[in-house]
Structure 1
Amino acid sequence: MAAVTKSVGFMAQLTSSVKRFVFRASGFNQMGLYHDDCLYETSDVKEALRRIPQNTRDDRNFRMQRALHLSLTKSILPKDQWIPFEEDREKGRYLQPYLEEVIMERKEKEEWNKK
């Protein structure tokens, strides 16, 4: 039993390490972007963006404009302004509840249209 617990703990630690590595390798944090700022804008994502509060939308637009400017100037933010992994996990999934709602509604509509 102890070996299984050790194995599960090791796998959780490994998974966390891989997630941190991928987060850092993406480079989006160096431009001040959160996870949900980088989602491909499908119709579901566009609808979820329409539903978020105005202040959240304004914050997102600021981050996107700043990242665009940094990209055009081929630069990154100073290291003290990079988004840390923990902050991205805490605040960077701001769109997920809205997106889940939109997807559920779309699937429900599809089910109704089948009948």
Structure 2
Amino acid sequence: INVDAHLSSDGHWSTGLVLRRSDGSAVGSATRVHNGVADVATGEAMGLNDAMDWVEKLGENKVIFELDSQIIVKAVKEKAMIRRRWVCVIRRCKLFLEVNPEANINWVPRAANKAAH
């Protein structure tokens, strides 16, 4: 699932989600809007959280989350303590991956994540 966040001109963060099969064909897409998100990393973390909520509702657990935010992917994969305002969202994402061992998260270059833009 490709995940990306975008700051709108009105100050809202929009999250784009594209669920694809392993052959690249699209299964579905979704968008979410968030108010009061202060920075890019928080927007990206909220996007990942949205994606995890969505795949849970779909009953999917064999999923690879692809984000172009290195800081978020690194924060989810590391065992170190995080001291950022988005720590609660990252904790939830780590828990999702623990409960769903067939799920994974990868960083992809922005050019490779165009599906979610």
Q: Per the shorter chain, which TM-score range?
A: under 0.3
Query: How does the TM-score come out when normalised to structure 2?
Result: 0.25
TM-score, scaled to structure 1: 0.26
Q: Which one scores higher on RCO, CA 8 angstroms, separation ≥ 6?
A: 1
Q: More helix by proportion, 1 or 2?
A: 1
User: Which of 1 and 2 has greater Rg?
Assistant: 1
